Structure 1
Amino acid sequence: MRIKTKIALFIIAPIFITDLAVSFVNGIGNFRTLKNLAEEKFLSQTENIALRISRENEGGVSISRTAATAAKVWFADRSNSTTYIRELLQIFPSFVGASIGYEVNADLNDFRSERGIKNLRNGREATFDDAVDSYNFRANPTSASYDEWLAKSEGGRFAAYWNRAKGDLALEPLVDMSSSMYSAGLKKKLDSGSSEQFIVTEPYLYNNKVLMVEYSAPIMQDSRFVGQVAFDRDLTNFSNFVSNLKSSSQADIFLLSSQARIIACTKNQNLRTLSIYDLYTDDSGAFVMSFLRDENGRLVRDDSVSTDVSKFGSAYRDILSAAFETAKNSGTLSENIRKVSYFKDPKTKQTYCVSQALVRPGNWVVVQIMPQSEVLAPVFAYMKTEALGAGVLILILIASIVFANSILRRISRATSAADEIAQGNFDVEITSVKSNDETSGLLSSISNMARKLRMAARQIEDSQTQLESASSAMERVSANCESAISDFGSSASSISHAVRNIGDNAAELSKNADAVCASANDASDIAENGRRNVSIMNDIVSGLSSNTSAIARRFSIISERANTINSVVTAVSKVADETNLLSLNASIEAEKAGSYGVGFAVVAREIGRLADQTAVATSDIDAIVKEMKSAVEAGAMEVRNFAAEVDGAVAQMAAVSSAMDSAITKIQSVAPQVESLSGAIGGQRESVADITANLANLDAGLEHTSELIRRAVESRERLRAAVAKMRDDIKDIKPISSDNG
C-alpha cells in the first residue's frame, strides 16, 4: 500500500469523518436547543399579549364591581348614582361609555321617576307633586328628549347610559336591558350559580351605533339581583391596542371571545364579531366576505347566498379552530397549553407557527400566527452557518489532499534518488524545490549526501594508496620499537634504584614533620589558654572601670546632698536668731508685767537658752558638713584619677589581647601547614611506592610491548589483505564524473 493511500485512509479520512460526525451531532443538539428557545420566545410573546389584555379586562371588571358596590350603598338614590358613574367615566377615558340600571321598580320609585320626567317635559320642577329627578338633568346634560326618556324608560325604570361616542359625555336612556348580555346575560350567569360576580360580554353593536364589549357587575340587595353597572370598551380602540402588541410585522394576532368570535384582528379589522368557523380566503389570500351579512352588529353567514366554500382556502379557519379547541379542551379554558403548533397551508405550501394563551377574565383566547421562517429565523441562520462550516471543512479536505500529493511527489523523487545511490550511482542530480518545508529539506539532504558520497569515494581511493604506504612505514617502525625497548630496559633498572633512595628519605622526613606538628599543636593549646586568661582579666578590669565610674557618680550625689544640708543649716541659723530675738522681747514684756509676767519670763529664758543651743549646734553641723564636703570632693577626685588609670589598663589589656590573638592565630596556622607537609610527604612515599611497583610492572610491560609489536607485524599483513579486498569492493562503484566534484 502506497503512503498516499495510507495517509488518505488512516489520517485524512478519520479526521474528516470524526469532525463531520461531531459537527452532525452538535448540529442536531444545537438545532433542537435553538428551536426550543425560538418556540419558547414565541410562546412568551403570546402569553405577554394575553397578560396585557387580561390586565385591561381586570381593570374593566374591577371598575364595574367597584361602581356596583357604590350603587348598592346609594341604592334608590338615582341622582347620585348617575353622577357617580359620570365621574368614573371621566377618570377612565379608555371606556367609551358606562351605564347603570335597575330591575323594574326595584327601588319602588319608577312611578315617581316617570312623573318627574313628565314634569320637566311640561315645564315644571322635576320634584313637583312628590316626583323624583332620577337623573339630575340640570347638572347632567342629555342628548335625548324627555319624550325619548319616557318611551325608553319603560314606565320610569332607572336606566342611565353615559356615552362618549362624540367626544363629550352625554346622558341617554339605556336600551335593551331585558335582552342584552350586560343585564339579561349577567342575571342568567348568576342564576346558574357562577361564583364570578361579573360578566364580560361578547362583542356586539350597541344601539346600532358602536361595536363594543362590556364589563358588567350586579347590584345586589339581600342576595337579590336588583340591577347592574356596566362599562363599555369600543372594539376599534381595543383592536388598536392589540395591534400595538405585535412583536413582528409578519405576526398576526387574533383575539377570540369565549364563543369563538373575533374581538380583534390585526390581519383585517373588518373581521370583528365574525365566527372563526366562517373564515375563508380566496386564491389571493384575501378574506372572503361575500356570503356574510350583518345581523344586529354581528357578521353571520347569509344562508340565502349559495356559496361553495370548498373552493376557498381554510388555513386561518383551521388554525384558529384548532387553537381554540386546544385551549377549550385543556380544561374548559382553565389552562394554557404551552405548545407551539405547526400548520402547513395546503394551497400556499407555507408553514405557520401557532400559539395560544388564555385571557382572564372573560375566557378569551389570544392566538398568534407567524410564518415558521420568521419564528425559526435564528435556527435557520445557525443551519446556514453549519452548512458554511461543512463547506469550509470540504475545502480544507481538498486542500489537504492537494498538499499531501505535493509532499508525496517530493518523497517519490527522494526515494528514486536514494535507490540510485544504493546502486552505486553517486552522480544523482535533484532539482531544487522552492519551499521551506521538511520535504524540500529531505531532497536537499539527499543531494548533499550524494555529493558527499562522491567525495568519500575519491577519499577512499586516496586512502588506499595511503594505507599501502602506511603498511611499509609500520614495518620500519616495528624494527625501531624493538631496539628502543631494549634500551629502555636498562634505563628502567637505574630509575628503580634512585626511586628506592627517594622513598627512604621521604620516610625520614615524614617522621620529622610529625614531631613538628605535635609541637605546634602543644604551642597552640598553651597560647589558647593564655588568651582565655587575658580575656578574663580584661573582663575584670572592665568591671572595675564601670564600678569606679559608679563610685564617682555616688560621690557627686553626696556632694549635692551636702550642698542641700548647708542650705538647711543656714535656714535653721536664721530661725535660731529670730527665736533669740523673740526671747529677748518676751523678757522685756515679762519685766513690764511685773509679778504677772514671772512665769512668762521663765519661758522666755528657756526659749533664749534653746535658741543659743540651736545656734551652737547649727554652727557645729555647718563645720561638719564642710569637712565632709571637702573629703567627698577629694575622694571623688581620687576616684576619677583611679578610673583614668583603670581605663588605661583596659586599653593596654585590649592591646595585649589583640597581639596574643594574632600570635595564637599564627601558631595555630603552623600546625595545619605541618600536617599538610606531613600528608604531602606521606603522599610522596606512596607515589614512590607506586613508582617502584610500576617499574616492577614495566618489565612485564616491555615484554608485553614486544608481543604487541609482533602482533602489529601480523596486523600489517592483514592490512595488506584488507587493502586488496577494498580495491576489489570499489570496483562496483560507477565511475565518478570529474565535473561533479
Structure 2
Amino acid sequence: MLKHKKLRDRILIGYSLPILCLVGLGGIVHVNTSNAFQRQAEEKIAQTTIIEVDQMVLGVARMVRNVRGYLLFPEDKSYIQSYDQGLELFNQSYGKLDQQAQSLERQQQIADLAKKVNRNETIAQKIFELIDSGQLVEAKALMKSLRMDDIDEARQQILQVEQAALQRLEQESESAQKLVVVSVFLGVIISVVFNLIIGLWLSRQVESQIAEIVDVAEKISVGDLTVKVKTDISDRNEIGQLLLAFQRMIRGLSGFVGQVQQSGIQVTASITKLTAFGKQLEATVTEQVASTREVVATAKQIAVTSEDLVQTMEVVAAKSQTTAASASVSQVNLTAMANSMQQLMRSTTSITSRLEVIREKAQSINGVVKTITKVADQTNLLSLNAAIEAEKAGEQGLGFAVVAREIRRLADQTAVATLDIEQTVKEMQASVSTGVMEMDKFNQEVKQGAEEVREISQQMGQIIEQVTTLTPQFLIVTQGMETQAQGAQQISDVMVQLSDVSTQTADSLQEINRAIAQLGEVAQGLHQEIARFQVSDRPISH
C-alpha cells in the first residue's frame, strides 16, 4: 500500500506512531506535574499552619508568663508591655491562619484555639485589674484558672491533622514520581523500538531501488548508453522519478553524442581553413603596424613643438595680465590715498575752526578773570573799611574785625588765583594761534599732495588702458596656438591609439592562430573521447 507513496509520506506515516507515543507520554507528565505543584502548595500551607500555631502558642505562653511576673512584681510595668507584645504576636499568627484555612475542619480547630485563648485573655485582664487595685490575694486565686493545658491540647490536635496531611501528600508525591518514571521509561523504550522498526522498513524499501539506480549509473560512467531502465508509470515516489530522470538523461546523451560526432568532423574542416586565413592576415597586420609607428613618431614631434609655443604665449599673456592687475591695484591704492588726503583736508579745516572757537572762548575767559580781579579789589577795600570800623567800635567790634580780616585774606587769594588764570589763558591763546598757523600750512601741503596723487592716478589709468588693450591680442594668439597644439595632440593620440590597436590586432591574431591550433587538438581529443560511447540505433522505449 505504501510502496507507491513518496519518501516524505512514508517517513511521516512511519514516524507518526512514535510521535503519538511521545505526545501521550507528555500528557501523562503534564498531569502529574500539575498535581505535584498542587501538592507542593498544600504542603506549604500545612507547614505554614504548623509554624503559625507554634507562634500562637508561644505568644499565649508569653502572655501567661508576664501575668505571673506582674503578680510577683506589681511595680514593674514592663510585664504589661511584654504581655501586649505576646497578644499582638498571637493576633498576627491567627490572622495569617484564618486567611490560609481552606477546609472547614481546619477553620473549626483554629476557631476553637482562638476561643480558649480569648478566655485566658479575659481572665488575664481581670487579674491585671485586681493587681492594680491592690487585691493580690484575689488575683492569686484567679491565677489558678489561667491554664495552658487546654491550649496545648488544641495545638496538638491541629498539629496531628497537619502532620497527617503532610504524610498523605508525601505518599502521593512518591506515587506520582514512580508513575512518571515508569511512564518515561516505557515511552522511551517504545519510541526507540518503533523508530528501529520503521527505519529498517524504510531502508529496505529504498535499498532495493537504489541498487538498480547504481547499476545504471555505473554503465553510463563507462560510456554504455544502450542500457535500459525499468520504470513503472504508477510509481510516483522519489526513486521512480529518479529512474525516469535517468531514462531521459540516457536518451538525451545518446542524441547529444551523435550530434557531437557529426559536429567534430565539421569543426576539423573549419579549423584547417581558419589556420590558413589567420597566417595571411597576421602578415598584413604586421606591415600595417610598422607604418603606423612611423606616423606616430612624426605626430608626436609636431605636438611637442606646438605645446612649447603655447607655453611661451601663456607666459607672455600671464605677464601682461599680472602687469595690468598690479597697475589696477596701484590705481585703486592711489584713489584710496587721494580720498584719505581729502578726508585729511576736511579734518584739518575742522580742527582749525575748533581752534578758532577755543581762542574766542579763551578771550571770554580772560574778560571774566578781569571782572573777578576787580571784584576781589573791591572786596579788599570793603574788608579794610570794615576793619577800620571795627577798630572804632572797640571790644564790641572784635568779632567783626576777625571776619573783615578773613574776607581780606580771601580777597588776596582770589586776586593771586585770577592772576594765575589770566597768565594761563594768555599762554593758551598763544598756543592756539600757533596751532592755527601750523594747521593752515599743513592744509596747503595736503592739497598739493592730493593734486600730485590725482595726476599719478591719471597716468596709471593710461598705462592700464594700454596693457588691457594688449592682453586680448595675446589671448587671441594663445588660443590659436592652443587650438593648433590640441589638433596636433589629437592627431598624435589617434595615431597612438591606432598603433596600439594594430599591435593588439597583431597580438590577437597570434593568439587566434594559437587558439585555432589548440582547438584542432581539442577537436581530435573530443573525437577520441566521443568514440568510446556506445549509442543505440533505435529509440529507447518507456
Q: Structure 1-normalised TM-score?
A: 0.38
Q: Structure 2-normalised TM-score?
A: 0.47
Greater fraction of residues in helix = 2
- Greater relative contact order (CA < 8 Å, ≥ 6 in sequence): 2
